[in-house]
Amino acid sequence: MKDYLGEYSKPEKAFGEVFSSTFTEFSVQSYSPAYPSTPEYGSLIAVNCETLLIVGLVYSSEVVSATVVASLPTPLRKTRREIQSMYPDLDSRLRDVYKAVSVGYYDGSRFWHDRPPRKPLVHDLAYLPDSQLIRDFHGTPPKLSYLPLIFASLPEREALMATRGLARYLAANFRAEDEREQLLRSGVESMQAWGYDADLIVVVSGILESMLG
């Protein structure tokens, strides 16, 4: 397995940095709100905490004014390209914030689907993982055993929406039919193992199957 702590340590490759955290989740401010240098809803991000690489699932994002006194933007009736031309310093006027649930970590030797033993610190660097990290995080065969962590951390409705976003994200990274079947099966089994309600598990199974089936 790669040295992910070393690979995900270069400041120039980070998309942002942590500005608040708990054991269950953390918030990251991106350096630029521009696509595609920022994470999508339901995607995974990785934060380098020196001894750990914490993996989080993005479930919320907000772009707010960076000024001390927030104000409503004035309607401009312009395209994004036109606005960028009019205000070349626009990125510096905005704060693009992402919230993520901690769903696992890398300890230097292997990945774990569990809450990390330590939380990220302010200014720890955040990265968009490449396809190899995504595959290594889920293992061989791939498993979705961190799914209960999402439901333990978010309100049920939001957790269901996040699960749908995650399933869409995984479908783009796992193309083989047997891999998708394994992800679906392990996700359902992990929810059963943690004693979640049978009706909820049926809904979760339907969401996963609609994206991975």
Residues 150 and 102: their CA atoms lie apart, in Å, by 8
What's the CA angle centered on 24, arms 102 and 38, to 5 degrees? 45
Other C-beta atoms closer than 10 Å to the C-beta of 142 total 21
**pTM for this structure?**
0.88
pLDDT > 60? residue 73: no
Residue 66's pLDDT band (cuts 50, 70, 90): low
Checking if the pLDDT of 70 tops 60, the result is no
- Nearby residues of 47 by Cβ (< 8 Å), 6 or more positions away: 18, 26, 28, 53, 54, 56, 120, 124, 125, 126, 127
Distance CA 138, CA 111 (A): 8
pLDDT tens sequence across 81-122: 776 676 666 556 678 899 999 999 999 999 999 999 999 999
Q: Which token pair is 184?
A: 């679906």
